[in-house]
Amino acid sequence: MSHGLFFFVVLLCGAVTFSERGAFLLFPSDKEPHPRLAKGLRLVPAAVLPALVTPALFMPDGALDLSPSNLRLLAGVVALAIALWKRSVFLTLVSGLTALWFFQWVSGWL
Amino acid sequence: MRWCDEERDTFLEGVRASLPLMLGVIPFALICGIASMDAGLPVWQALVIPLVIFAGAAQLAVTHLFVIGAPAMVMVVTALVINLRFVMYSASIAPHFRQVPGRWRPLLSYLLSDQAFALSLTKFNQREGCRYPLAYTLGTGVPVFFVWHLFNGLGVLLGAGVPESWGLDFGVPLTFMALLVPAVQDRPTLVAALVSGITAVGASGLPYGLNIIFAALLGVGGGLLFDAKAERRPA
């Protein structure tokens, strides 16, 4: 895809995002989402985010790798523990990246 | 626009409330800038795209899809699915903005980031409530906007200069992981998360990053199914 076409797609994505944010805000009204829709929407963040995480941890090079030589999986476990404990984006990032660098350094010695 | 003193104070209260969250916004924005340069995008696009989308997770996913050569349709649907959470935000916060005049609503919608939403709803649900919800939400949203673009720009500057061995791209899944933890609040959301995480790996053979959309839909389905079952069971 050319950069020009990509930018056009980005404009579409921006319009979609704006419409989603404005779905119940853009026009003053008392309408509420259908209860079933509301139930589904509530689950969206929990259902979207793992799909962006697990492939990067379990298949960093494109194939499933559960061995201890998969340093990103090891670092991810460390980061998850910190995320559950501290509930901080910043500390999760710092601990995950530090763990990755540490494991890279150790595996350089082995 | 004429704001009374109390409205201005409420705006500043929102600004102050948003500051601690910048610890999460700054690295996320840096990574977005770096990822745009890694994807080989021209500098002007790396700076303008976050203005157009203003949603980091969707921007990163769409940029990744560009790199792997996915078709336009997959990009748009992926952004739509990842940002579906904003529809939920929009619905749950709208009752607090009933009095807000129409001219403020586009800006309000545009600035409704994860951070602005979370801070605002927390504030509005306090017992003392909030007399000027518009001022408060804008107060939380505006700093996120400026810090986001400032550090995205810094990421664009650094972009080419950061060695690949640093593994800074690993910051992307780490950010999502940190956002995921508070999103898992009960059993249905846990089921949704597990189904999605496993499906994304299991279905990675699907072309063009379609595994993400597939995993998200299956995750919502799994969570709903679990919810329905739990309701039928006598408490």
Minimal Cβ distance to A51: which of B48, B108, B196: B196
> What residue numbers bound the domain in which A78 lies?
32-109
Is B78 within 8 Å of B62 (Cβ atoms)?
A: yes
Q: Is A83 on the interface with B (CB under 8 A)?
A: yes
Place of tokens 């021209």: B42
- Of B58-62, B84-88, B199-203, the range with the lowest mean pLDDT is B84-88
Cα of B8 to nearest chain A Cα, Å: 22
Which residues in chain B have Cβ-Cβ distances shorter than 8 Å to A26? 105-106, 109
Are B152 and B211 in a shared domain? no
Say how many residues make up chain B: 235
The count of domains in chain B is 2
Residue A25: CB atoms within 10 A of its CB come to 24
Place of tokens 């699915």: B81
Integer distance in angstroms from the first to the last C-alpha of chain A?
42
Are B100 and B211 in a shared domain? no
Instruction: State the amino acid at position B150 in one-letter form.
Output: L
> What residue numbers bound the domain in which B43 lies?
5-167
- Please check whether residue B32 lies inside any domain of the structure: yes
- The per-residue pLDDT for range B98-154, each reduced to its tens digit, is 889 999 999 999 999 988 988 888 888 878 878 899 999 999 999 999 999 999 999
The residue from B138, B167, B196 where one domain ends is B167
Taking CB atoms and an 8 Å limit, are B53 and A17 in contact across chains?
yes
Q: Region A18-43: what's the mean pLDDT? A: 85
Q: Region B20-44: what's the mean pLDDT? A: 88
Q: Is B112 on the interface with A (CB under 8 A)?
A: yes
Residue B15 has pLDDT above 60, yes or no: yes
- Optimal mutation site among A2, A93, A103, interface B, most CBs of chain B within 10 A: A93
Record the tokens describing residue A55, joined without a space. 């492939």
Q: Is A64 on the interface with B (CB under 8 A)?
A: yes
Higher pLDDT, B23 or B120: B120
Is B100 within 8 Å of B108 (Cβ atoms)?
A: yes
- The per-residue pLDDT for range A48-78, each reduced to its tens digit, is 889 989 999 999 988 999 999 999 999 999 9
pLDDT, position B235: 53
Q: Is B204 on the interface with A (CB under 8 A)?
A: yes
- The per-residue pLDDT for range A99-109, each reduced to its tens digit, is 999 999 999 88
Residue B51: CB atoms within 10 A of its CB come to 13
Are B201 and B158 in a shared domain? no
Are B89 and B161 in a shared domain? yes
Which is nearest to A45 in space by CA: B190, B229, B28?
B190
Nearest chain A residue to B36 by CA distance is A3
Task: Name the range with the highest mean pLDDT among B12-21, B82-91, B125-134, B188-197.
Answer: B188-197
Cα–Cα distance for residue pair A60/B85, rounded to 1 Å: 27
pLDDT, position A41: 82
pLDDT, position B131: 86
Q: Is A107 on the interface with B (CB under 8 A)?
A: no
